[in-house]
Amino acid sequence: MTDAPVLDFPQATPPENGTFREVAPGILWLRLALPFALNHVNLYLIEDGDGWALVDTGISDTATRAVWQGLLDGGLGGRRISRLIVTHYHPDHAGLAGWIAEVCNVELSMSQGEWLTSQFMRHHPGATAAVDRASFYRRHGVDAEMATGVASRGHAYLRMTTDLPGHYHRLIAGERITIGGRVFEILTGGGHAPEQVMLFWRDGGVFLAADQVLARISPNISVMGYQPEANPLGLYLRSLGDLTAAIPDDVLVLPMHNLPFYGLHQRIGELRRHHDLRCNEVLEACRAAPLSTMQVLPHLFPRALDVHQLGFAFGEVLAHINLLVRTGDLQQQTGTDGVVRFSPA
């Protein structure tokens, strides 16, 4: 067996939080801190005439706003923000979109799926805490206390984001946008978010992958309570296949977390194998006896998790289960206690 080639990281260390450096011709890599276990997010600034097109914003909190205030007060080499592109609705990416669009007086560009989802999350924060959410978790074997903890996460979205403008420019897969003379092909993909935007600058050999393909970490692929039968892992794997076909292997990948890298196709292969292994672990766990989602969870996440981590882990486990139900590898049965349990078909 030969060792798999390792990914190539052209810049071994990231910029300090709140600072930026050039990562490709005319593209700056800006690093911002996040108050989570995943403690940072990468943003990119693309030279756009006398301004910068900003891709993603960071989370809405006091520290991030302070960093942005400094950057906008002359920290961007005397250039203004000329437009704002947001890859997906998650707070670490879209958090300050409303604020920056207003302060910089620029148009916001997003895909329709991401814009609508953000609006939905902000205007109906109870959507992730509604009463039927509790029954969703109970069906999957979650006890009442944890169900309450996990279900209250919807309100956190409000705290970590700002109101989006009431109008936006829609980014559509297959179309192109030109930024500072560079033509970017627009791609979208599901799984991590409904319609996450990625940008491919073919002539420059640069691929802005958003959170779809990250080095070293696997993007969170979760079933959400408002769409309990969803198959986000199926969508994600399909998107990885689409990316392999659409994007050459020799591009510089600019992801929104971790380090920029070369080795796109290899990394996609690693991510596919990771999920294959996870699916096999789920099937193995259910072979001895039918298990609920909550009972499968420790087989995939053996260490102790806090409520925040448990919510993500639960969604991830159910994503693998829902895929295996779709493919016919798992069957489900509802017990007299109302809990759904899964066994190999």
Question: Cβ 256 to Zn ion, closest distance in Å?
Answer: 5
Q: Which stretch in 62-70, 115-123, 211-219, 273-281 sits in contact with Zn ion by CB under 5 A?
A: 211-219
Q: Are strands 330-334 and 340-344 parallel, antiparallel or unpaired?
A: antiparallel
Rounded to the nearest whole angstrom, what is the least distance from the CB of residue 209 to Zn ion in the complex? Answer: 11
Helix spans in 124-247 (H): 131-139, 144-151, 153-159, 232-246
| Smallest distance from Zn ion to CB 134, Å | 27
Of the candidates 48, 92, 114, 195, which one interacts with Zn ion according to CB under 5 A? Answer: 92
CB of 128 to Zn ion, least distance (A): 18
Nearer to Zn ion, 43 or 285 (CB): 43
In this structure, are residues 213 and 221 in contact, taking their beta carbons and an 8 Å threshold? no
Q: Which is nearer to Zn ion, 42 or 82 (CB)?
A: 42
Considering Cα of 93, then 162, then 60, then 55, what sign does the dihedral take?
A: positive
How far lies 236's CA from each of 241, 272, 340, in Å? 9, 9, 25
Task: Closer to Zn ion by CB, 47 or 316: give it.
Answer: 316
By beta-carbon proximity to Zn ion, the closer residue of 47 and 92 is 92
Region of 185 please: left (phi>0), alpha (psi -120 to 50) or beta. beta
Parallel, antiparallel or unpaired: strands 252-255 and 27-33: unpaired
* Phi then psi dihedrals of residue 166, to 5 deg: -80, -5
> Is 48 an interacting residue with respect to Zn ion (CB under 5 A)?
no
Alpha-carbon distance of 15 to 277, in angstroms, equals 34
The closest of 256, 192, 189 to 221, measured between CA atoms, is 192
Map tokens 């030109």 to a residue. 178
Which of the stretches 17-25, 88-96, 319-327, 335-343 binds Zn ion when contact is defined by CB under 5 A? 88-96
Report the nearest approach of Zn ion to the CB of residue 345 (Å).
34
Residue 312 Cβ vs Zn ion, minimum distance, rounded to whole Å: 12
CB nearest Zn ion: which residue?
A: 211
Question: Using the rule CB under 5 A, which residue among 48, 114, 195, 211 binds Zn ion?
Answer: 211
Rounded to a whole number of angstroms, the minimum distance from the CB of residue 127 to Zn ion is 20
Gap between the terminal Cα atoms of the chain:
33
CA 185 – CA 319 distance, rounded (Å): 29
Q: Which is nearer to Zn ion, 162 or 292 (CB)?
A: 162
Rank residues 211 and 316 by Cβ distance to Zn ion and give the closer one.
211
Query: Do residues 240 and 198 touch, judged by C-beta distance below 8 A?
Result: no
**Size of residue set near Zn ion by CB under 5 A:** 2
What DSSP string describes 234-276? HHHHHHHHHHHHHS-TTSEEEESSS--BB-HHHHHHHHHHHHH
What is the closest distance, in whole angstroms, from the C-beta atom of residue 51 to Zn ion in the complex? 25
Residue number, 259 or 285, with CB nearest to Zn ion: 259
User: Judged by CB, which is closer to Zn ion: 257, or 278?
Assistant: 257
Contacts with Zn ion, residue ranges (CB under 5 A)? 92, 211
